[in-house]
Amino acid sequence: MLGIKEIQEIIPHRHPFLLVDCIEEFEPGVRAVGYKCVSYNEPFFQGHFPAEPVMPGVLIIEALAQVGSVAMLSMEENKGKIGYFGGIDKAKFKHKVIPGDRLKLECEIIKRKGPVGVGKATATVDGKLAASAELTFMIG
C-alpha cells in the first residue's frame, strides 16, 4: 500500500492536481490499483456544478492516468522521469461520480515499447463502472 508521500516519490503531481489518495496494489510495468475519496471540498465542485456537484470526466481520466503512471514510473528504468499523455482512446463515461464516492482506479498496462506504454483503465464506484479508457503514456 502506498500513501500520498510514497505516490509523490513516484509521480510529480501535487495538490490540488494529485487525484489519487492511495495505491492499494501495484506491479511495476504491469498494473496499479488506487483510490480517490471524492470530497465535497474538491475545488472543481465550486463550478461543476454548484447545484448538483459531479466530478468532471476529464479529471476521472486524469486520475486513471496518474494510477497508470505509478505502474509505468515505478519501473527501474523510468524512476525519476515524467509520464505524459500520448493519447486517450475509447473513453466512456457511464456513471456520475459525486461527493462521498470512493473511486476505485485500475490501470493494466497492455502494451509497452521503449518509452511508450498503453494502459486499459477503469474507474468504478461500489462496483459500478463510472468510466473507462485506453491511455497512452509517453515517458520522458
Contact criterion met (CB below 8 Å) for 97 and 134: no
Check whether the bond before 16 is cis (ω within 30° of 0). yes
Which pLDDT value is given to residue 14? 97
Give me the percent of the chain exceeding a pLDDT of 90.
Answer: 100
Q: Report the relative pairing of strands 116-125 and 22-27 from DSSP bridges.
A: unpaired
Which pLDDT value is given to residue 10? 97
**For residue 80, what is its C-alpha cell?**
525519476
16: confidence class by pLDDT, cuts 50, 70, 90? very high
Give me the percent of the chain exceeding a pLDDT of 70.
Answer: 100
Bridge partners (DSSP) listed for residue 37: 102
Which pLDDT value is given to residue 52? 96
- The side-by-side arrangement of strands in the sheet containing 116-125 is 22-27, 31-37, 102-113, 116-125, 128-139, 83-93
Contact criterion met (CB below 8 Å) for 24 and 37: no
**Active site residue ranges:** 48
Check: pTM over 0.95? Answer yes or no: yes
Each residue's pLDDT tens digit, 56-102: 999 999 999 999 999 999 999 999 999 999 999 999 999 999 999 99
Q: Dihedral (C-alpha) 84, 18, 72, 100: value to the nearest 10 degrees?
A: -120
Which pLDDT value is given to residue 20? 99
Q: How many CB atoms lie within 10 A of CB 22?
A: 15
CATH code at 4-139: 3.10.129.10
Query: What residue spans define the domains of the chain?
Result: 4-139
